[in-house]
Structure 1
Amino acid sequence: MLPLPEEIAAGLTAMGLPGTEGEPLTGGVSSDIWRVGDFCVKRALPKLKVAADWRAPVARNLYEARWLQRAGDAVPGAVPALLGQDAATGTLAMRFLPPEDHPVWKQRLREGHAEPGFARDVGRRLARIHAASARDPSCAAEFPTDAIFHAIRLEPYLLATARAHPDLAPRLEALVETTAATKRALVHGDVSPKNILCGPAGPVFLDAECAWWGDPAFDLAFCLNHLLLKCLWTPGATAGFLACFDALAAAHVADVDWEAPEALEARVAALLPGLLLARVDGKSPAEYVTQDPDKDRVRRVARALLLAPPTRLSAIRAAWAKELAA
């Protein structure tokens, strides 16, 4: 056990929670996270722990707490219980979920455990959170986070990639404009396998620092992107990862009731190639895509799909499968 950092200790005091010592937790790049007894506390960092100069407002911690509350109300059990939040120190506290019965989905995928049924549940729970917020107009006013979302999602992913591929800049910039202007539902913003626990009762979502009132297509595209890239990390499980891609996409789109499902799918299909390319040429490259041949595979598929945008996710899945089989 180590003494808690001053800001975290002050945040706990402000929230009325006990603790002066804890255990630092690893895995994130945007926050300091400590376990204190049966809960954990996190503090947003002004500069993310990546090679690029990537900064973000620490006020995002407040909106993460609000997302946790909204998501938990919409789908009980889909998030850890929120215990408190202190805006002055940029800290929040939530119930700690032990890894023995809540393994991280990313690690399960790394080990080749590709379970379409679990992926289907991710899609369903995510869609239920989107749908509940879309039905509640008061939700929008709680998330005035356009600037934060731009700083930690649109700029480091799509606009940074546009600078690396000047010929694609008009297409990537148009995706940014469309995404920023589409206001439909409450968005998590970082629906990645590293932020999803495999709980006994289903998926549990973590780390909603990018919470935003905007386009739910971003959440679906962001998660599906990871399932495509995992094929390069654990090639032996490629068929399973693609089956998870199909299951997650189908489950989410089937539960879309706030707009025409085909309209949302078209925006996801347009956005996904940009996010795919961003994971090799943006500010947050996938840490396991390190070999040049793999990076070139990503670039070939993503560039072709950006230049001739599909409207169906099945077209992206087919293009990726064809590249992997080549």
Structure 2
Amino acid sequence: MSLYRTFDSADLRIWLSTQITLSTQLGGKPEEWSIKEVSDGNLNSVFLVHGLDSSLCCKQALPHVRVAPDWPMPLERALYEARYMRATEAAVTGLAPKLFHYDADLFLLVMECLSPHTVLRSALIADQVTPGFSETIGQYVAQTVHTTGWTTRPFEEGSRLLADFAGNTALTRITVDLILNDPYRVCTRNPEPEPALLSAVEALRTDRPLHAAISRLQNIFLTCRQALLHGDLHTGSIMLHERDVRVIDGEFATMGPIGFDCGLYLGNLALHACAAPQKMPAMEHEMRVFWAAFAEQFQTLVSQGGGDVGGLLEDDAARLTMVQDMLLGILRDTAGFAGLEIIRRTIGFAQVADYSLCPDDAARTTARKRALEIGRTLIMSAEAIESPDALFALLCPSPATGAPSLT
């Protein structure tokens, strides 16, 4: 902490000029570099630096939530993001930005600059996406599972990852609170719901069967350590330019259930469809593309074995059965966590900009109610799901029938 200081553009320019490898990579003289702050997330300061030869992205952790300065936040979260990028780098080359440098005193990451990439959520809102982008995300999740999971790596590697990420408790606490608890109780972090949603919000707070189902998901999240998770895989943590799709912002990384990352991603696609119902077919297509890419790569990679789970299964049919059973479990977890994410992003802290697509207040209220109904149905039905088609039917219900009402 004695060496830590919060950077502005001038400080960053001076620091970069002392880093021989990075300054050489940028090219030109420090005074010739263009430095622009582009911070738009909840937690960090982000700068894009353009030199004569190349560009860099510099991300520094702040000692508080950027959008809530009275909410303290440990700087060490930057360490876990750097560890995550290094642990998955070989598996996801070309699917995530490359990490060039991490400064442990300044809690500063220097990585590949993604330009002219756009945040996926913004691109969806602006209708500037190339269909099929979700294939890359499905591959990304499967490949991180392959390189960090117990079926394809010796348990010693999984144990090392458990140790490396066990200390990321502050950000995991955010997940436990903001996704798994706060939307279902009175909490000062929750924005005040619009009057037309008050009865629906109160119904969620008093829904005992729902709370029991959420308790099961809480237990899965906290005790099921299948692989290293990104931990915050939503449409705001992905950037793309045409067909070049990259996953960013791995600071919530923790060992956990594979279905958590899958559920957060699919839940955000469902949220976008709730906000813009005319896009439901396109979002369902992306959901199917995601799951098909994930399941195909997962089956191919996990079937190779190499870990201590399934090590006795020499018969291909037996190994295939094991993989299919794993995929069904992941599918069910995906449904539950997607439901939690949909509800959280609708009435909890850090709501989504997708609802800005609604043409008026009445349409926005209708969209939010629909999202809450879909979210609850997913949570309550998760254990009974038997196929991807069953999941997509819950994520993208027919407008004529919809999901069961909350009230």
Shorter-chain TM-score tier:
0.7 to 0.9
Pick closer, same or farther for the CA change 1:248–1:115 going to 2, 3 Å: farther
Q: 1:308 maps to what in 2?
A: 381
Corresponding residue number in structure 2 for 1:87: 104
Do 2:267 and 2:338's aligned partners in 1 also have CA atoms closer than 8 Å? yes
- Report the counterpart of residue 41 of structure 2 in structure 1: 28
Distance 1:188 1:246 in 2: 21
Contact 1:63 1:209 in 2 (8 A): yes
Matched, 1:289 2:311: no
Identity %: 23
- 1:97–1:52 distance in 2 versus 1, CA, 3 Å: closer
Aligned counterpart, 2:81:
64
Cα distance change of structure 1 residues 55 and 305 upon mapping to structure 2, 3 Å threshold: farther
Aligned 8 A contact 2:42 2:67 in 1: yes
2:217 counterpart residue number: 175
Q: Distance in 2 between matches of 1:283 and 1:59?
A: 22
Taking a change above 3 Å as real, the CA distance of residues 254 and 56 of structure 1, as seen in their structure-2 partners, is farther
- For 1:212-231, list aligned pairs within 5 A: 212-231=254-273
Question: 2: distance between equivalents of 1:213 and 1:14?
Answer: 36
Measured at CA, do residues 192 and 305 of structure 1 come closer, stay the same or move farther in structure 2, by a change above 3 Å? closer
Say whether the 8 Å CA contact 2:142–2:294 is kept in structure 1.
Answer: yes
Deviation of 1:242 after TM superposition, in Å, equals: 0.8
In 1, the alpha carbon distance for the partners of 2:103 and 2:275 equals 38
Unaligned runs of 5+ in 1: none
CA deviation profile, 1:135-167 (whole Å, cap 9, x unmatched): 243333322245134223221112112215332
- Name 2:136's counterpart in structure 1: 121
Residue 270 of structure 1, aligned match among 331, 336, 351: 336
Return closer, same or farther for 1:45/1:216 CA change in 2, 3 Å cut-off: farther
The structural deviation recorded for 1:188 is: 0.8
- Contact 2:168-2:252 at 8 Å conserved across structures: no
Pair member with larger Rg: 2
| Alignment root-mean-square deviation, CA | 2.9
Aligned residues: 322
Q: Give yes or no for contact 1:39–1:95 (8 Å, CA) kept in 2.
A: yes
Alpha-carbon shift at residue 298 of structure 1 (Å): 1.1
* Structure 2: gaps (5+ residues): 1-6, 24-29, 187-203, 303-308, 310-322, 357-363, 402-407
Matches within 5 A, 1:10-159: 12=16, 17-18=22-23, 22-37=35-50, 38-50=55-67, 55-99=72-116, 102-112=117-127, 115-134=130-149, 135=153, 136-137=157-158, 138-159=160-181
Residue 4 (str. 1) matches residue 2 (str. 2): no
Distance 1:302 1:68 in 2: 31
Shift of 1:299: 1.4
| C-alpha contact (below 8 Å) 2:220/2:257 kept by paired residues | no
Partner Cα distance (1:232, 1:284) in 2: 17
